[in-house]
Amino acid sequence: MKGHEEDEPDFCIQDLLGEGSFAKVYKCIERKTQAPFALKEFDTKNEEYDEGTVQTEIKIWKDLQHERIVRLYASFRTGKYLYFVMDFLAGGNLLEDMLGRQKYSEKEAASLLRQILEALQYLHSRKIVHRDVKPDNILLSGKLTGAKRPVIAKIGDFGFAVKLPRDRDVICCQPKGAPMYLAPETILEDPIGCPVDSWSCGVLLHTLIVGYPPFWNEDNEKMLLAAVRGQFSLTSPCWNGVSQLCKNLIKNLLTVNSSQRITPMNALKHPWIFKMALASPVPPRKENKFLSQQSLTTGLKSTLLKMHSSLNMQSLGVSRLKGRFFPLHHSAQNLTALSGSL
């Protein structure tokens, strides 16, 4: 199964793995080889389907070959449907795993983050910005809880990915992504580059360690304001027992000034990553009061699911944010000086 837009391979569809507004993902078996694959089915007649976006995704994704990236083997059409043939990973996505537990040990979080950073280092070396690093788009080879062997993590879904110009490190593009993971420069509609993926890793690491994201607020505008200002705390009781090295890496990933934000290459060299790789397995810390009251409730879980969805940025009050700050500040790099209560 080489190439793209080729003749339809012969599959036996087994299970529905997930579905969105215009696409479904199935587990399937190729009859000839009996090999398992994931098959993504796009309804090209759905009003939310965008042919240009999907073709850009194919163009970027089809040549990527890295052990930490979900492989796109082929694409083909049957009637009104377009199909992607991809790696099948039996553990599902990381968001499903996160919703089934409170939080992760530092060793578990470091193992996941290291693999994601390796994928991003590869992408960035090819001038590709993923723009949608979030748990939904991280697939696992197995369940993390009780795993007897190392769990492999791979990044997939390149629907928002962009290729940077050969002679530039930034590009102007329409803001897209899950609001919880958006970097300040994306929120303010500044030109963006590879650092937006590092920011998303910082949000992810924070959430894995304590069970909630750094800028959490049910009010979208307040959440985006907190992110633009870089307002988060690592001193609340839920951080008791978390190493200073871990906190340091989170701070470096969540640096508002994108030019000073740590890169995946340098994050892989961070002492916390090295220390955790050598550490003995340790169970996650005991649940704290904050998490028992909030993070494990059905209401917050449903809200987290919603906030992991990619939404129209105009519906999140971006224009109001720009209107409030742009008369005095013209880039995310100047916003660290802002003060005020949310």
108/239 same-domain check:
yes
236 Cβ neighbours under 8 A, 6+ residues apart: 290
| CATH number of the domain within which 64 lies | 3.30.200.20
In a domain, 5, yes or no: no
27/153 same-domain check:
no
In a domain, 174, yes or no: yes
Is 63's pLDDT higher than 80?
yes
pLDDT at residue number 148: 72
pLDDT at residue number 9: 64
Spot the catalytic one: 7, 15, 132, 169: 132
CA–CA separation, 253 and 136 (whole Å): 20
Of 29-33, 118-122, 193-197, 245-249, the poorest mean pLDDT is in 29-33
177/230 same-domain check:
yes
137/48 same-domain check:
no
End-of-domain residue from the set 87, 113, 137: 87
| CATH number of the domain within which 269 lies | 1.10.510.10
129/227 same-domain check:
yes
What is the three-class DSSP state of 148? coil
> DSSP labels for 205-249?
HHHHHHSS-TT--SSHHHHHHHHHHT---S-SGGGTT--HHHHHH
pLDDT at residue number 143: 84
In a domain, 149, yes or no: yes
Quick check: is 97 catalytic? Answer: no
137/204 same-domain check:
yes
Q: What is the pLDDT of residues 113-145, one digit of tens each?
A: 999 999 999 999 999 999 999 999 999 999 877
In a domain, 4, yes or no: no
Is 7's pLDDT higher than 60?
no
114/251 same-domain check:
yes
Neighbours of 280 (CB within 10 A): 5
339 Cβ neighbours under 8 A, 6+ residues apart: none
CA–CA separation, 193 and 148 (whole Å): 38
Give me the residue label for tokens 């694959």.
37
Q: Which domain holds residue 217?
A: 92-280+302-326
40 marked ligand binding residue: yes
Number of domains comprising the chain = 2
pLDDT at residue number 287: 47
In a domain, 289, yes or no: no
Give me the residue label for tokens 């742009």.
326
Q: What is the pLDDT of residues 192-242, one digit of tens each?
A: 999 999 999 999 999 999 999 999 888 888 999 999 999 999 999 999 999
219/76 same-domain check:
no
pLDDT at residue number 308: 59
Please give the model's pTM, rounded to 2 decimal places: 0.85
178/244 same-domain check:
yes
End-of-domain residue from the set 31, 58, 87: 87
81/100 same-domain check:
no
Is residue 250 within 8 Å of 272, Cβ to Cβ? no
Is residue 47 within 8 Å of 86, Cβ to Cβ? no
129/79 same-domain check:
no
